[in-house]
Chains A and B, each alone.
Chain A
Amino acid sequence: MNPLQRYAPLVDDEEAFFAACERPLPSVVRVNTIKTTVARAREALDDEGVAYEPTDWHPGILKLEDSSPGTNWPYFHGWLHGQEEVSALPAIALDPQPGERVWDTCAAPGSKTTQIAAMMDDEGVLVGNDNNLGRLSALRHNAERLGVTNLVVSNQDARNFSMKPYGERTPERDASFEQFDRVLVDAPCSCEGTCRKNPDVLDEWTMNHVKSVAGIQKGILRRAVQVTKAGGTVVYSTCTFAPEENEAILDFVLEREDCEVVEWDVPDGFETAPGITEWEGDEYDPSVTKARRVYPHHNDTGGFFTAKLEVTA
């Protein structure tokens, strides 16, 4: 069975939803403002004869008309990074500021991490963590190519992430800290939303996998809230439509940790749907409607889920 059938009751236009999921995804790059400006990157692409179209919601996110343009100087210089359009959302919801302390819990291979670094003007402490050493080397390669210098690369299990390396138990040391201003949990998930790029995810889909990954998601999001200061922000995102991995995770953590779901500013011109409060007999906290669902037919992107939490104590 195609697991996407489960979500037919959730979408506004079933036919458009299934049709969009069948289409391949356009190639998209993000301009890396650590090393250049949007204007200069676009000029370089023009000079190379690479055709592109800016997205109507973000001037620095460009859709390429041909995905393999050959020799590409702006890419070599680290001016561009291949990043799925919809995956630019969580960093926008996180809204990191220069000089802050930010933790990206599941950072590799680093598209969102490097976007966060750029939004911080490459200044402050950005901890890019991943539990997989192989994937960490991809994060490091991307960060270096993009010229990121405010990144701490970390290899821990995010569910029991230790603040000890940062001086949690030694507050007398200079520059020690025990909490972050902002944390991004871009969680491992069943990835149904990436089916336009990788249709295999639908064949490999099982309910058992959803259940096991939900346990990991709960653990990571709880730890994220615990290490964020009061008044700070935690963003939870996935590339799945499964409520078991989205609203259910928020509901679980809202009951156990000091936090609340808040609205976030979706860019103008980008269509989203609210989080849902009922699914297969389960009910979720009403505030999860403030989370945003993205369906592929809305903006011709992959599928996505993004929620913003404020930590209250």
Chain B
Amino acid sequence: MSDDTAPDENWGQQFDRLPPTADDRVVDGRPSREEVIDWWDERFGVDPAVFDGYTFWEKGAGKIWAFHGEVVDPIEVEGLGMRILRTRQRHWKPSTNAVQRFCGDATRNVIELSPGEAKAFVDGHDQQLDRWEGDWGYLTAAHEIAGELEPLGVGLYLHGELRSTVPKGRQEDLVKLD
């Protein structure tokens, strides 16, 4: 049970709230709320105010969840808000769902795809896209729909190639409607 867990361990069966800042850190390697919000700002230009009212949680090593409410800490449930970020690795990796939810107004590291490229991206294909002159690493892939740019998901850009990280389950969403 959670009661048996020392406060300085990460325990995979429960959600633990992130410390506000690095100075408040008790569990080794756990990112702070501030670091998570700064990451979205630095990587994609997401306004930190977007996350006002959100609480941030870790379940399992490095899997960060954002929840738009308050519950007790720790809490033992199956899910808490949305998985947004994989940390505890050199390059933090955002989730498809989080990029769709929070990067609508992103100002940095957004690559706009043509209709054909967007379709290929969502189908999970990697593509040679030499026109990108920005950072390597995780990008928000977006396309135009109903007159505005809308995020599709996360692409990993390396050596001129945009690799799709759209999960299999979401690839099917393009054709399903009933």
Residues of chain A having any CB pair with chain B under 8 Å: 27, 29, 34-36, 40-41, 43-44, 47, 64, 67-78, 80, 82, 99, 122-126, 136, 140-141, 143-145, 147-155, 165-167, 170, 173-176
Contact = CB atoms under 8 A, between A and B. Distances in A.
B100 A77 contact: yes
A139 B146 CA distance: 28
Given A76-B122, A174-B73, A154 B177 contact: no
Contact of B68 (A40, A43, A80, A149): A149
Given A76-B170, A77-B145, A149 B54 contact: yes
B145 A47 contact: yes
28 contacts: A29-B177, A35-B100, A35-B101, A40-B146, A41-B146, A43-B146, A67-B178, A69-B177, A71-B119, A71-B174, A72-B174, A74-B146, A75-B176, A76-B122, A77-B100, A77-B150, A99-B69, A123-B69, A145-B173, A147-B100, A149-B54, A150-B67, A152-B75, A153-B80, A167-B72, A174-B73, A175-B72, A175-B73
Contacts of A47: 145-146
A141 B83 CA distance: 11
Contacts of A122: 68
Interface residues of B, number: 38
B81 A150 contact: yes
Contacts of A43: 146-147
Interface in B111-125: 119, 122
Contacts of B178: 27, 67-68, 82
A122 B73 CA distance: 20
Contacts of A73: 145, 174
Most buried by B among A75, A148, A152: A152
B49 interface: no
A116 to B, nearest CB: 13
A148 B82 contact: yes
Interface string B121-138: 010000000000000000
